[in-house]
Amino acid sequence: MEDGVGDAWKIEDGAMVFYPPKDRQKGEKYNLVTKEDFTDFVLSMEWKISEGGNSGIFWGVKEVESLSEAYHSGPEIQVLDNEKHPDAKNGPKRQAGALYDMVGPSEDATNPVGEWNTCVITVNHKTNQGNVVLNGKEVASFPVNGEAWDAMVATSKFKNSEHFGKYQTGRIGLQDHGDIVSFRNIRIKSL
């Protein structure tokens, strides 16, 4: 909810790179969130995760004072080292390319840690369709509203979250999950 980008995010070789601060205060977060709201869009970018790293890409984020984290409102596409991060051992719904805790990827299409991954996320409320294409392979497809969406949320860790997934129009965010992560070639097209 602050304006600007903190020192934890650096620009290196055309990429935005997050370096978790060593002197982080409890509860301090460095998520990047757009100023502009989006509803229906195609978001493409490249991401690279550090060894054992975890991050994510959010949409539908509402910055509400009572919410301490973007994931309390915005659904997340997982960015993860599937080999070495413990979350990957909790099943496909928590692996790279997943609609976090709701729809797992059909396959592990990630490149090895330290290499760039190309990710294209489509969210279209008019057609009630969302999908994730990771390195040229569609790995997840899901509804983005209505009864089918509500049913997915009801079986996830977000089932008791008042704001989670409730906003068709919201901001896009990149997650600080405490690990080094890089993003580049970020493009968004409204549908």
Q: Residue 129's domain is classified under what CATH number?
A: 2.60.120.560
Across 10-14, 19-23, 99-103, least confident range: 19-23
Residue 44 lies in a domain: yes
Residue 179 lies in a domain: yes
Residue 7 lies in a domain: no
Asked if 150 and 117 touch (Cβ cutoff 8 Å), the reply is no
Closest CA to 31 of 20, 39, 23: 20
Residue 89 lies in a domain: yes
pLDDT at 33 over 70: yes
Residue 118 lies in a domain: yes
Residue 6 lies in a domain: no
The residue with tokens 């070639």 is 185
Residue 27 lies in a domain: no
pLDDT of res. 1: 46
Quote the domain boundaries for residue 152.
33-190
User: How many domains is the chain partitioned into structurally?
Assistant: 1
Residue 25 lies in a domain: no
Q: What is the mean pLDDT of the chain?
A: 91
pTM listed for this prediction: 0.92
